[in-house]
Amino acid sequence: MVGMVIERDSVGEEGDDVVTPGEFLGKATDFIAGKGAYVSPNGRSVRACLTGRRKVTAPPPGSNDNRSTIEIVGHKAHGAVPQPGSIVIARVTKVMARNASADIMCVDSKAVKEKFSGIIRQQDVRATEIDKVDMYQSFRPGDIVRALVLSLGDARAYYLSTAKNELGVVSAHSISGGTMVPISWTEMQCPLTGQIEQRKVAKVD
């Protein structure tokens, strides 16, 4: 019985890895092929038939078959996945007093295919005078920002940072609807009205 638990745990650790079609999942004597998996023609091994993450389910109590069921949960993100250190392009969705929320659209210039959320905390907006950061003068909903992924934060949202000169707002629309032009690292101007709005602006190359 102990041996069975150890075996499932070892597979569970591997479950964090994405498997691809044809990849070996385990011996047919140890596992039942569930969704997204199949038994090889020789009947000896269980293999993946789609890209995704493996999921192992223990046999139900009282089952005559002591094998666990292994299945593949479809992994839709064939596109990029944010990682700590990645540079992302994200659209700001909500601004609050201590942080801003954003939807990540691109990772290292590659489009994402799943929804990934990000949070820019007050202390991660800029590198200097952190205690004076005003979130409402740094970002507005709809702004497009370039940011650095710090880590995976809470509730499946990545912590993002704009605390470098080249990071921050790269595109924004004014209240009048015009595409604003950066005039300093803290200001952008509407070409239609000349109105100036505060932002944490990314340095343009």
Domain topology for 87-198: OB fold (Dihydrolipoamide Acetyltransferase, E2P) (2.40.50)
Element (H, E) at 2: helix 2-14
Token readout for 161 is: 């940072």
User: pTM of the full predicted structure?
Assistant: 0.62
Q: Which residues contact 8 (CB under 8 A, 6 or more apart)?
A: 56, 58, 68
Mean pLDDT value across the chain? 83
Q: Tell me how long the chain is.
A: 205
Q: How far is the C-alpha of 128 from the C-alpha of 125, rounded, in Å? A: 9
Where in the chain do CATH 2.40.50.140 domains reside?
87-198
| Dihedral pair phi/psi, residue 47, rounded to 5° | -130, 160
State how far the alpha carbon of 57 is from the alpha carbons of 5, 9, 164, in Å.
11, 11, 46
Percent of the chain with pLDDT over 90: 45
Domain with CATH 2.40.50.880 in the chain: 2-74
Q: Of 2.60.40.10, 2.40.50.880, 3.40.50.150, 1.10.3720.10, which CATH number belongs to 2-74?
A: 2.40.50.880
| pLDDT tens per residue across span 1-10 | 333 322 333 3
